[in-house]
Amino acid sequence: MDKSQFDVRLAQGADDIRAAQRLRYEVFVEEMGARADQDSHRLRLEQDRFDPYFDHLLLIDNAANGRVAGVYRLMREDMAAAGIGYYGESEFDLSKLSGRNALELGRSCVAKEYRGGVGMHLLWDGLGDYVMRHGVDILFGVASFHGTKLEPLKQALSYLHQKYLAPEDLRVRSKAYVPLNQMDINDVNNKEALRSIPPLIKAYLRLGGFVGDGAYIDHSFNTVDVCLLMDTGRMVQKYRAFYARERS
C-alpha cells in the first residue's frame, strides 16, 4: 500500500461516525463475537452512548472511494468532564488520572485487508499530532484479550503484571478485580506469554506503556480487559520522537 493513498483526519459529521461504527461492527462483532442489540445488527453498526462525546480519528483510503479503513476513539479529560465521563470508568478506578491532562484511547481497529501494512502506523502518526496539539500528558485505554476464559491467558497476564505493572502514581485498579498475577514468576514462559499478547498491546508496551492493577472480564464484549497507560514524560527518548518528530 502506498502511504499517499491515505488521509488521517478527525470525523467531520454523522456520516463519518457511521462509517467508523460500521468498521467497528465488522471487527468487534463479526470477527471477535462482541454482543450487539437488534438495532445494531440491523444497521450493522457497533455503537454506544459514548460515541457522541468522543473525537473519532479516521484512516481514509482515497484509492477505495474514501473508505474508512481504520479508526481510533479519543477523549480528552476536558471532554470527559463536560460529557458523561470516560468509557474506562465503568471497568477501572481512574481517580489517579484526575487533573493530569489525560487522553483516553479506545475502539482502535483496522479493516482486515489493511492489517500488516502502513495503516496502523499512519493512525499512530495522526494520534501523535493530536497528542502534541493538545499537550497530552497521560495516554490510557482499555485493551482487550479475545475471549473471557482466564486459563489460556494465565501466562500473558502474569507476564504483564511482573514486567509492566504501572508505577504507583499511575496504577489504576480494576473495579471487578481479577488478579493479573495468575502464576509464579518462575513458572512463566516469557516466549509463550509474548505470543499470547495481542499486537496492539505489545506495541503500547514498546512505546513505554504500563498496565494497571487487575483485569476486567467484559462478557458483553467477549474480552478480558487490561488498562494500558503511558506517561509521555517517562517515555524513552527514541520512542518519544514518534510523537515529537520535527515537521517539515
Residues 49-77: pLDDT tens digits? Answer: 999 999 999 999 999 999 999 999 999 99
Q: How does residue 124 score in pLDDT terms, banded at 50, 70 and 90?
A: confident
- 177 with 224: CB under 8 angstroms? no
Determine, yes or no, domain membership for 215. Answer: yes
Determine, yes or no, domain membership for 20. Answer: no
- 225 with 216: CB under 8 angstroms? yes
Between these two residues, 14 and 232, which has the higher pLDDT value?
14
The arithmetic mean of pLDDT across residues 187-206, rounded, is 91
The predicted structure's pLDDT at residue 197: 94
Distance CA 70, CA 109 (A): 6
Query: Is a pLDDT exceeding 50 seen at residue 246?
Result: no
| Side-chain half-sphere CA neighbours of 184 within 13 A | 2
Distance CA 244, CA 248 (A): 13
Determine, yes or no, domain membership for 25. Answer: no
The predicted structure's pLDDT at residue 32: 86
Determine, yes or no, domain membership for 27. Answer: no
Q: Which three cell numbers stand for residue 237?
A: 527518548
Query: Is a pLDDT exceeding 50 seen at residue 187?
Result: yes
Instruction: Give the total number of structural domains in the chain.
Output: 1
Determine, yes or no, domain membership for 2. Answer: no
Determine, yes or no, domain membership for 53. Answer: no
- pTM (2 d.p.): 0.89
The β-bridge relationship of strands 138-146 and 102-110 is parallel
Residue with cell 508505577: 167
Closest CA to 153 of 132, 124, 180: 180
Sign of the dihedral through C-alpha 153, 154, 160, 163: negative
Assign residue 130 the CATH number of its domain.
Answer: 3.40.630
Between these two residues, 175 and 200, which has the higher pLDDT value?
175
Determine, yes or no, domain membership for 67. Answer: no
Closest CA to 87 of 72, 70, 73: 73
- 207 with 191: CB under 8 angstroms? no
Domain boundaries, position 185: 72-244
Q: What is the mean pLDDT of the chain?
A: 90
Closest CA to 95 of 173, 210, 165: 173
Write out the chain in H/E/C secondary structure.
Answer: CCHHHEEEEECCCHHHHHHHHHHHHHHHHHHCCCCCCHHHHHHCCCCCCCHHHCEEEEEEEHHHCCEEEEEEEEEEHHHHHHCCCCHHHHCEECHHHCCCCEEEEEEEEECHHHCCCCHHHHHHHHHHHHHHHHCCCEEEEEEEEECCCCHHHHHHHHHHHHHHECCHHHCCEECCCECCCCCCHHHCCHHHHHHHCCHHHHHHHHCCCEECECEEEECCCCEEEEEEEEECCCCCHHHHHHHHCCCC
The predicted structure's pLDDT at residue 238: 46
Q: How does residue 247 score in pLDDT terms, banded at 50, 70 and 90?
A: very low
Determine, yes or no, domain membership for 176. Answer: yes
